[in-house]
Amino acid sequence: MQAIFAIAPLIIILPFAGVFINAFFGRRLMENPDSPAPGIVASVMAGGAFTVALLLFIGLLNDPAGAQVPLFTWMSIQISPERTFVIDWTLRVDTLSSIMMLVVTGVGTLIHIYAIGYMQFDVEENVHKRHLHGAEADEFKRRYFSRFFTFLNLFLGSMLILVTGNTFLTLFVGWELVGLCSFLLIGFWNDDPEKGVANAKAANKAFIVNRVGDFGMLMAIFLLFWSFGSLQFDEVFSRGECMIEGSQADCITLSPEELDWNPAATSEEEEARSGAIGVLASLAPAEEGPGELNTLIFLGAVGFPMGAVVTAITLLMLLGATGKSAQIPLFVWLPDAMAGPTPVSALIHAATMVTAGIYMITRSNVLFHMAPFSETVVAVVGGLTALVAATIAVAQFDIKKVLAYSTISQLGFMIAAVGLGGYVAGIFHLATHAFFKALLFLGSGSVIQGMERGILAGEAGHGDEHGSAHDDEHHAEHDDHHDDHHAHPDPQDMRNMGGLLQRMPTTGWTYIIGSLALAGIVPLAGFWSKDEILLDANNESLLVYILLSVASFLTAFYMTRQVSLVFFGQPRTDAADQATESPGVVTIPLIILGALSVFGGLMNLPFEGFHQLGHWLEYSVTYAHIPKFNLTVAVISTVVALAAIGLGWLVYGRSPSQSSEDQDPLASTGPLFGFLEAKWYWDELYEAVLIRPFTRLSDFFANTLDWNVFHDWFHDTLLSGFFVGGSQIMSKPIDQGVVDGTVNGLANLVSGSSRGLRRIQTGFVRNYALVVALGVVVIVIFLVARFVL
């Protein structure tokens, strides 16, 4: 191991140091509320992490085998006298994770820098929205500005935990942490006076939908642990490979003696043992044959063939990937996630976090290779997602929604690629997509803020021409009038834009470069990566190839539509007319990303002697393969993209609409456009199929079962009836009847008899004397009688 790899922990420590600084000292750093200090700290940390990633990359150039840098032992569990199950927290530096680190930290750093400019404006705007002044406004700025960069650095660190993890469990830790950051950042403006609730709901939606995926991921991890007895990547994969190639019993690293394994054991014993130890102990050999994965894995008492278990594992992993990487059926959260500030959309929901699924599948390529059925499912899911999302993107009007669906579609391309075994193509597209989609999102953020500046400028102009001549009273009137009348044009609605290229040239040109890269025009980055995916699809599956080709046609079309609507034609609102270019801190990252979008393809040119990325990944991705360049595929894809751009230009660019009230030219196609605009009614479908039955079920549980049955009937009627009835019995017949009766009866008896006996005490002495005399007589008679008888 090279000494340089020892710096690997820094890549995680630096962002977390940024989290620490900004969380605890962020507000103090902002003595001046307009100071960008927390942003600078966060950006320096991100830049530091990027430097570390670069150094590790250089180290890998010399030693592509990479290294595993142990940090500490996370868990150590004694599972039998001879065996301890250990999970170390080890950083894995290999060619795959290094690519991910470079993309995450590189794009991440640019977005951190961009976010300094963006968030200063955004926070300022939110101060206005909340009508804050003076110290309150300053405190608000300090709080939110530093909080944003705390979260952003936390995300960066979490993502790096994810990609450097050496076991499925550490990967899962990162997986969950990035989900948390995503939640925190989508709902960042959850106290927005207008959209706060919507933002919070979007955050919840993202988190809850991701839980479904995380469930799949967790189940996959449990099954992996059960079947392979390890969660460490190398151990799992080497056992998997061993099972593909040779005698499967040999793949068990533990000897039968060690496992106290007895071939003659009855199934009950087997079950007891597997229940007690589980891991690998549950492996029992069946008829063996190379390539046939028929080793039995016991889940409880039932043995499943290894092949079926691996298929289940990989399908569950796919479920995890559909959640994190926004594929059918779990993609619905991503468009809503655009509620977060734009740098978040760019970093988390386009460039990095959503690629976690692709990374995870690539990392598990050995497992997917063992399960051809899962590979097919992955490819088809990816292809369908690519197509469906692309169709929806065509009919959106929100500039960020178009990009969101575009992201889903492009993630579909990557998923399809890894499903087809084109891991190199998938990772290649992941990297180039990170460049141009981050560029597009940041560009859209710049456009939105340009529009917002236009709105503010319009307001200021409006205010000046009226305000100066009037006294205070009129001012008040004017303000009321102004609030009623001046509904701001939505700064994200593309119908309100137009002609922004002249007003925001840097943003405009970089945006056009990003769009062309996304559309896949030679020689921009997107062309090479998409071409490689299409090449794999062409070789492997005609269905997926057709799906992806149609999707790439639509991609070029909707990007042309977007660029035409936003940048060309005439401004359709005053806001667009008065929009201004963003400051350098915003545009410089755009320029850098623009350059990356142009030249990103160089990292993996599909010609003999190039394919650097492919060869690079061969060291860590067992089944990486490099398809042979096919000119036909490349030409077809270029023609398709150019045709789509031409068609888009015909529809949107040639005669741009003049008013924001105009209908979309495609709306005349009838209900189809409405169907696409409504996003295929996916949300409504889930609403009807899942959410409403769920709410009804909850309602049933809450109102009928809990309230009516449990509370009203069981509690209020049955229990309290029993209790009241029992109390009544206890109080009336038993307490009042028996207990009181006894006591009162005794008292009555005593007082009654006393009343009777009182009569004897006449007070007349002679009566007493008479009684005494009579008594004597009786005694005498008794004595006499005794004497006589």
Partner 1 sequence: MLQETTFLAPTSWYVILSATLFIMGMAGVLIRRNAILIFMSVELMLNSANLAFVAFARSFMDITGQVFVFFVITVAAAEVAVGLALIVAIFRTKQSIDIDELNTMEG
Return the number of the residue (722 or 768) whose C-beta is nearest partner 1. 768
Least distance (Å) between residue 785 CB and partner 1 = 18
Return the number of the residue (570 or 762) whose C-beta is nearest partner 1. 762
* Secondary structure class of 32 (helix, strand, coil): coil
Residues 430 and 413: their CA atoms lie apart, in Å, by: 9
Return the number of the residue (131 or 766) whose C-beta is nearest partner 1. 766
Residues 618 and 368: their CA atoms lie apart, in Å, by: 16
Least distance (Å) between residue 782 CB and partner 1 = 18
Token representation of residue 36: 């960008």
* Secondary structure class of 114 (helix, strand, coil): helix
Least distance (Å) between residue 763 CB and partner 1 = 3
Least distance (Å) between residue 758 CB and partner 1 = 4
Positive or negative torsion for Cα 350, 354, 356, 358 = negative
**If you ran DSSP here, which 8-state letter would residue 487 be given?**
P
Return the number of the residue (690 or 773) whose C-beta is nearest partner 1. 773
Return the number of the residue (718 or 750) whose C-beta is nearest partner 1. 750
Residues 363 and 87: their CA atoms lie apart, in Å, by: 18
Least distance (Å) between residue 747 CB and partner 1 = 19
**If you ran DSSP here, which 8-state letter would residue 610 be given?**
-
The answer to whether 569 touches 406, Cβ cutoff 8 Å, is: no
Dihedral of the alpha carbons of 75, 79, 82, 85, in degrees to the nearest 10:
-30
Q: Pinpoint the alpha helices (H) of 568-719.
A: 574-577, 584-599, 612-618, 631-648, 671-677, 682-686, 692-699
Cis? peptide before 329, omega within 30° of 0: yes
* Secondary structure class of 280 (helix, strand, coil): coil
Least distance (Å) between residue 769 CB and partner 1 = 5
Q: Are strands 83-93 and 296-299 parallel, antiparallel or unpaired?
A: unpaired
Return the number of the residue (131 or 758) whose C-beta is nearest partner 1. 758
Return the number of the residue (738 or 770) whose C-beta is nearest partner 1. 770
Residues 424 and 420: their CA atoms lie apart, in Å, by: 11
Return the number of the residue (75 or 769) whose C-beta is nearest partner 1. 769
Least distance (Å) between residue 776 CB and partner 1 = 9
Return the number of the residue (650 or 780) whose C-beta is nearest partner 1. 780
What HEC string does 33-60 produce? CCCCHHHHHHHHHHHHHHHHHHHHHHHH
Least distance (Å) between residue 787 CB and partner 1 = 16
Least distance (Å) between residue 745 CB and partner 1 = 23
Per CB under 8 A, residues contacting partner 1 are 757-766, 769-770, 773
Least distance (Å) between residue 755 CB and partner 1 = 10
Q: How far from 280 is each of 85, 221, 240, 292, 743, CA to CA, in Å?
A: 12, 15, 13, 19, 76
Residues 408 and 328: their CA atoms lie apart, in Å, by: 9
Return the number of the residue (764 or 787) whose C-beta is nearest partner 1. 764
The answer to whether 375 touches 535, Cβ cutoff 8 Å, is: no
